[in-house]
């Protein structure tokens, strides 16, 4: 074991995703000596997501965020669709204002890392952290191969597959039911085609979530986001359900979706230029470590389970970045007091509780449950489309809405159960 | 005497991502991240093993735009001691003649050197010229496809693997070796080395002020090669057909049927 003795940092951050880089940026800006260790070739090279980020929390952290960040399009149009038998029932919302934007996460994350570097943080890529380094049970640095780098505090921002925390015994091994599998393709397409086909004005963005047939009726959802001259198309399926029910490779589900008329029209003559897959936490607070801090340790972003999947939207990047920001604030306070024990770092948990992150996660606790009720994905899309079909495809007589709904439900579920499910989700 | 080892690496566009402009036939480099020519990592690994075994200093040299700093940081991370980035607008547009000339002049400034180590070829041009040409400019012996090397009593003993035989050569120093691709496993980056690269500003940038070469010998002006024409082979559009069953035999039958019926394959 060799100790790197001539360099000592105040803070070591593991992982240069949105969480890690935002913590680094905030700390470096306030004069602390920070190093970020990232196993990827560049910051952002190992992250993958769907495509849309909520802006406000980031604007609070980064000055001039709107001007400088690598934003592709501001989302002006939201779509949510049920898909069944190739037919779509879509709710569309067009807004004059917008609170979210599309971006490539690789570019956004590398922009954040660059901000951190400019503020004075040292970003070291190609380095995998193997373990936390402890002295008398207190985290005092990290181990990389046979080397130890010391610091006063370590911020774990390693993302959803938190092997370091597992080895440290802070969290149990990930279970299938705790995560979802996401995969996506980036499809190059002229800006004018994107805008023309989706009814967008120049520069405007669209976020589109689809459930039902779009994931092969598996719990989860498919997504389509517009970038400047590409489309991000992909899906997220709950791993456990997918594991039990799929008898083919998941990428076939995505290929099937691309063959559906409604999607085919949008991506016609586009060229796939990138594809990838990644896990995402799905248990909400159910997979967070009991404490998000320890002696000399703070846990942020996906590693802390801070992600909200509402079905019609995912909030991961803004939560991750903001939790990194709160961790940095905690460390600054601890630094001024000269103590990094778990008592002074517990301030992080307090900041989290008071922030929108925990409030949001608690408020929408029930959604995780509903997201897993199979009916939402297997039966309801069919019922809804059937009902709508009966309403709109008139030959001689037209049914009332209730008649149409009753008829479509027959033999599948009870009207009462359907209404109750809707009620308990949204109220 | 510790060995003075120089290893040359090229910063290339990642040709796995790169697309070809169907009209001009040239690579579209814009927006494509560059990487170290993968075969040059084998050269770096060989240089580091020599250093470990016999003692010495390893200097990496690359002629490239400033973005190649990242690549040089990587090889310092692997354990290279010194890195020189030869970077100046006047070097741009070089063919192999101008490239090897420039590299040889840089290397001359690093005398006395013992062993020059090059990759076998690059993934973006793959001429495999540069090693041989550089050796010729410097009037040193060279050997290609080297898989292993020893340094015994002032003599370099290099092994190379050809298709049907293994050859062992003895060369005097200084000499140049071009390492066979994939002949060793390049080591991962070490934290202490990478930190040094990051924090101590170790990469030296040499412009033509430092190298001092005549304009007509370098860059585009010093490059007699002219690419007259590039012909792009058209890509065949995918038919997007899929076999959905489980049985391998059925799958093969389906595939053969498709090839016979749709593509006119004849079985004779
Ligand atoms: C398919 C999919 C779609 C999504 N869609 C959206 C969306 O539209 N909007 C949204 O806001 N969020 C979305 N998310 C969630 C979002 O991507 C994450 O919440 C966010 O990236 C979390 O940031 P992070 O910094 O915590 O972790 P990550 O972004 O995962 O970063 C972790 C970093 O740590 C590095 N690392 C890991 N282990 C080590 C180690 N041992 N040593 C060194 N480095 C290490 C990794 O290489 C990585 O760079 C989606 C996720 C998926 C999978
Ligand atoms: C027919 C032809 C015409 C060309 N015309 C032009 C042109 O007009 N304009 C133009 O810009 N380019 C041109 N090129 C590309 C240019 O010649 C090469 O990129 C460059 O000279 C290096 O040659 P290479 O990549 O084939 O290297 P190789 O000879 O395949 O490389 C062997 C080894 O030499 C070393 N090496 C190679 N390049 C460098 C470097 N820059 N720095 C340090 N070490 C290095 C590495 O160790 C490498 O593994 C042309 C190439 C060809 C084949």
Question: What pLDDT score does B58 carry?
Answer: 98
Residue of the CA atom closest to atom 12 of ligand 2:
B95
Based on the domain organization, do A352 and A304 belong to the same domain?
Answer: yes
Å between B66 CA and nearest CA of chain A: 16
Based on the domain organization, do A193 and A319 belong to the same domain?
Answer: no
Q: How many Cβ pairs within 8 Å bridge chains A and B? A: 44
Spatial distance between the Cα atoms of A248 and A242, rounded to a whole number of angstroms: 10
Q: Which of A266, A281, A296 is a domain's end point?
A: A281
Q: Count of domains in chain A? A: 3
Low-confidence ranges of chain B (pLDDT < 50): none
Chain B residues with CB-CB distance to A125 below 8 A: 194
pLDDT per residue as tens digits for the range B44-95: 999 999 999 999 999 999 999 999 999 999 999 999 999 999 999 999 999 9
Going along A213-315, which residue ranges are E strands?
Answer: 220-226, 230-238, 271-281, 293-294, 297-299, 308-309, 314-315
Spatial distance between the Cα atoms of A418 and A256, rounded to a whole number of angstroms: 28
Spatial distance between the Cα atoms of B14 and A125, rounded to a whole number of angstroms: 18
Å between A147 CA and nearest CA of chain B: 7
* Residues sharing a CB contact under 8 Å with residue A383, sequence separation 6 or more, in sequence order: A405, A408, A409, A412, A413, A418
Question: What pLDDT score does B191 carry?
Answer: 95
* Residues sharing a CB contact under 8 Å with residue A310, sequence separation 6 or more, in sequence order: A364, A367
Question: What pLDDT score does A372 carry?
Answer: 67
Q: Residue A126 and residue B190: Cβ atoms within 8 Å?
A: no
Spatial distance between the Cα atoms of B142 and A12, rounded to a whole number of angstroms: 46
SS3 B237: coil
Based on the domain organization, do A152 and A265 belong to the same domain?
Answer: no
Q: Residue B192 and residue A42: Cβ atoms within 8 Å?
A: no
Number of H helices, E strands in chain B: 7, 13
Question: What pLDDT score does A259 carry?
Answer: 92
- The β-bridge partners of B63 are B86
In this structure, which ligand is nearest to the CA of B26?
Answer: 2
Q: Looking at the domain assignment, is residue A372 inside a domain?
A: no
| Pair A243, A145: CB distance under 8 Å | no
Based on the domain organization, do A63 and A98 belong to the same domain?
Answer: yes
Based on the domain organization, do A267 and A413 belong to the same domain?
Answer: no
* Residues sharing a CB contact under 8 Å with residue B215, sequence separation 6 or more, in sequence order: B90, B221, B222
CA nearest neighbour of B58 among B136, B114, B101 = B114
Spatial distance between the Cα atoms of A390 and A400, rounded to a whole number of angstroms: 9
Question: What pLDDT score does A313 carry?
Answer: 82
pLDDT per residue as tens digits for the range A262-275: 999 999 999 998 89
Say yes or no: CB of residue B94 within 6 Å of ligand 2. yes
Say yes or no: CB of residue A281 within 6 Å of ligand 1. no
Spatial distance between the Cα atoms of A230 and B21, rounded to a whole number of angstroms: 18
In B, minimum Cα distance to A142 occurs at B191
Q: Residue B192 and residue A147: Cβ atoms within 8 Å?
A: yes
CATH code for the domain of A245 = 3.30.9.90
DSSP secondary structure code for residue A362 in this structure:
H
Based on the domain organization, do A157 and A14 belong to the same domain?
Answer: yes
Q: Which of A281, A300, A315 is a domain's end point?
A: A281
Q: Looking at the domain assignment, is residue A73 inside a domain?
A: yes
CA nearest neighbour of B105 among B125, B120, B90, B119 = B90
Q: Which of A341, A365, A389 is a domain's end point?
A: A365
Chain B residues interacting with chain A (CB cutoff of 8 angstroms): 33, 35, 70, 74, 77, 188-192, 194-195, 198-199, 240, 242, 244, 246
SS3 B17: coil
Which residue of A4, A42, A252 is in closest CB contact with B192?
A4
Based on the domain organization, do A152 and A60 belong to the same domain?
Answer: yes
> In the predicted model, what is the mean pLDDT of chain B?
92
CA nearest neighbour of B241 among B231, B232, B251, B249 = B251
Question: What pLDDT score does A227 carry?
Answer: 96
Give CATH for domain B3-217: 3.40.50.620
- Contact of A272 with chain B, judged by CB distance below 8 Å, is answered with no
DSSP string, A124-190: E-S----EEEEETTEEEEEEETTEEEEEEEEEE---SS-HHHHHHTSSPPP-GGGEEEEEEEEEE--
CA nearest neighbour of A110 among A159, A52, A42, A57 = A42
Low-confidence ranges of chain A (pLDDT < 70): 1, 3, 5-6, 368-374, 422-427
Based on the domain organization, do A152 and A185 belong to the same domain?
Answer: no
Q: Residue A144 and residue B191: Cβ atoms within 8 Å?
A: yes
SS3 B199: helix
Q: Looking at the domain assignment, is residue A374 inside a domain?
A: no
Domain with A422 in it:
379-426
SS3 B146: strand
In this structure, which ligand is nearest to the CA of B8?
Answer: 2
Spatial distance between the Cα atoms of A256 and A238, rounded to a whole number of angstroms: 18
Q: Which of A19, A23, A47 to mutate to test the pocket of ligand 1 (most atoms within 8 A of CB)?
A: A47
Q: Residue B199 and residue A7: Cβ atoms within 8 Å?
A: yes
Rounded to 5, what percent of chain B is helix, strand, coil?
Answer: 30, 25, 40
Rounded to 5, what percent of chain A is helix, strand, coil?
Answer: 40, 30, 30
Q: Looking at the domain assignment, is residue A370 inside a domain?
A: no
Residue of the CA atom closest to atom 45 of ligand 1:
A15
Tokens of B168: 């062992």
Question: What pLDDT score does B71 carry?
Answer: 96
Based on the domain organization, do A347 and A393 belong to the same domain?
Answer: no
Q: What are phi and psi of A279, to 5 degrees?
A: -85, 160
Å between A273 CA and nearest CA of chain B: 8
Kindly report the number of other CB atoms within 10 A of residue B232's CB atom. 12
Going along B72-217, which residue ranges are E strands?
Answer: 82-86, 115-119, 142-152, 155-161, 166-172, 175-179, 203-206
DSSP string, A53-85: EE-HHHHHHSTTHHHHS---EEEEEEEEEEEET
Based on the domain organization, do A81 and A194 belong to the same domain?
Answer: no
Tracing tokens 């909200």 back to the chain, one arrives at A308
In this structure, which ligand is nearest to the CA of A45?
Answer: 1
| Pair A405, A387: CB distance under 8 Å | yes
In this structure, which ligand is nearest to the CA of A108?
Answer: 1
Tokens of B251: 């799958």
Question: What pLDDT score does B25 carry?
Answer: 67
Tracing tokens 């951190």 back to the chain, one arrives at A116
CATH code for the domain of A327 = 3.50.50.60
Residue of the CA atom closest to atom 50 of ligand 1:
A49
Nearest atom within ligand 2 for CA of residue B226: 8
Chain A, residues 132-171, CB within 8 A of chain B, namely: 144-145, 147, 149
Tracing tokens 């589900």 back to the chain, one arrives at A253
Spatial distance between the Cα atoms of B134 and A86, rounded to a whole number of angstroms: 63
Based on the domain organization, do A358 and A388 belong to the same domain?
Answer: no
Based on the domain organization, do A31 and A160 belong to the same domain?
Answer: yes
DSSP secondary structure code for residue B198 in this structure:
H
- Contact of A35 with chain B, judged by CB distance below 8 Å, is answered with yes
What does DSSP say about strands B175-179 and B142-152: parallel, antiparallel, or unpaired?
A: parallel
B95 CA distance to ligand 2 centroid (A)?
Answer: 6
| Pair A159, A15: CB distance under 8 Å | yes
Q: Residue A124 and residue B195: Cβ atoms within 8 Å?
A: yes
């Amino acid at each position: 074991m060799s100790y790197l003795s001539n360099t000592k940092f105040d803070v070591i951050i593991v992982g240069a995703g949105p969480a890690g880089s935002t913590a680094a940026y905030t700390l470096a800006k306030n004069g602390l000596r920070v190093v970020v260790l990232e196993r990827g070739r560049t910051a952002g090279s190992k992250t993958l997501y769907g495509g849309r980020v909520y802006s406000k929390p980031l604007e609070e952290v980064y000055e001039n965020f709107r001007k400088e960040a690598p934003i592709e399009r501001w989302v002006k149009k939201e779509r949510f669709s049920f898909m069944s038998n190739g037919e779509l029932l879509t709710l569309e919302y067009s807004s004059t204002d917008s609170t979210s934007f599309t971006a490539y996460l690789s570019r956004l994350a590398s922009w954040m890392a660059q901000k951190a570097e400019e503020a004075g943080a040292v970003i070291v890529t190609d380095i995998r952290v193997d373990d936390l380094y402890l002295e008398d049970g207190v985290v005092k640095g990290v181990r990389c191969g046979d080397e130890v780098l010391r610091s006063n505090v370590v911020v774990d921002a390693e993302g959803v597959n938190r092997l370091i925390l597992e080895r440290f015994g802070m969290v149990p091994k990930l279970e299938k039911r705790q995560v979802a599998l996401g995969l996506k393709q980036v499809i190059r397409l002229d800006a004018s085609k994107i805008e023309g086909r989706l009814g967008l004005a120049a520069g405007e963005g669209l976020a589109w979530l689809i459930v039902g047939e779009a994931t092969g009726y598996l719990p989860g959802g498919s997504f389509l986001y517009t970038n400047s001259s590409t489309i991000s198309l992909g899906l997220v399926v709950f791993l456990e359900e997918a594991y039990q029910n799929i008898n083919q490779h998941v990428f076939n589900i995505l290929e099937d979706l691309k063959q559906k008329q409604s999607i085919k029209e949008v991506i016609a003559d586009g060229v796939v230029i990138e594809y990838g897959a990644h896990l995402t936490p799905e248990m909400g607070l159910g997979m967070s470590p009991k404490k998000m801090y320890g002696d000399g340790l703070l846990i942020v972003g996906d590693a802390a389970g801070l992600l909200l999947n509402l079905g019609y939207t995912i909030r991961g990047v803004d939560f991750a970045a903001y939790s990194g920001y709160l961790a940095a604030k905690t460390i600054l306070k601890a630094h001024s007091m000269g103590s990094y024990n778990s008592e002074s770092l517990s301030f992080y948990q307090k900041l989290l509780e008071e922030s929108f992150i925990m409030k949001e996660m608690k408020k929408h606790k029930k959604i995780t449950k509903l997201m897993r009720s199979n009916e939402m994905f297997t039966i309801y899309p069919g019922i809804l489309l059937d009902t709508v079909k009966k309403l709109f495809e008139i030959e001689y007589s037209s049914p009332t809405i209730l008649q149409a709904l009753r008829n479509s439900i027959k033999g599948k579920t009870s009207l009462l159960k359907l209404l109750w499910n809707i009620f308990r989700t949204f109220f | 005497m510790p060995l003075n080892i120089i290893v040359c690496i090229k910063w290339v566009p990642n040709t796995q991502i790169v697309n070809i402009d169907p009209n001009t036939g040239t690579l579209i480099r814009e927006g494509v991240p560059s990487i170290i020519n993968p075969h040059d990592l084998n050269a770096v690994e060989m240089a580091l093993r020599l250093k470990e075994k016999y003692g010495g200093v390893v200097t990496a040299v690359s002629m490239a735009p400033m973005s190649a700093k990242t690549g040089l940081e990587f090889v310092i991370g692997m354990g290279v001691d010194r890195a020189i980035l030869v970077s100046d607008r006047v070097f741009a547009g070089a063919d192999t003649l101008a490239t090897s000339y420039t590299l040889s002049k840089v290397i001359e400034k690093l005398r006395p050197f013992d062993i020059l180590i090059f990759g076998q070829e690059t993934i973006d041009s793959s001429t495999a010229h540069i090693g041989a040409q550089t050796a010729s400019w410097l009037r040193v012996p060279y050997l290609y496809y080297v898989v292993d090397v020893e340094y015994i009593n002032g003599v370099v003993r290099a092994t190379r693997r050809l298709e049907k035989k293994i050859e062992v050569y003895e060369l005097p120093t200084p000499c140049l070796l071009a390492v066979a691709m994939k002949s060793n496993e390049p080591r991962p980056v070490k934290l202490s080395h990478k930190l040094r690269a990051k924090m101590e500003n170790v990469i030296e940038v040499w412009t033509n002020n430092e190298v001092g070469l005549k304009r007509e010998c370098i860059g585009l002006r010093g490059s007699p090669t002219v690419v007259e024409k590039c012909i792009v082979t058209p890509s065949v559009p995918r038919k997007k057909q899929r076999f959905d069953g489980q049985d391998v035999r059925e799958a093969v039958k389906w595939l053969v049927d498709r090839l016979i019926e749709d593509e006119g394959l004849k079985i004779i």
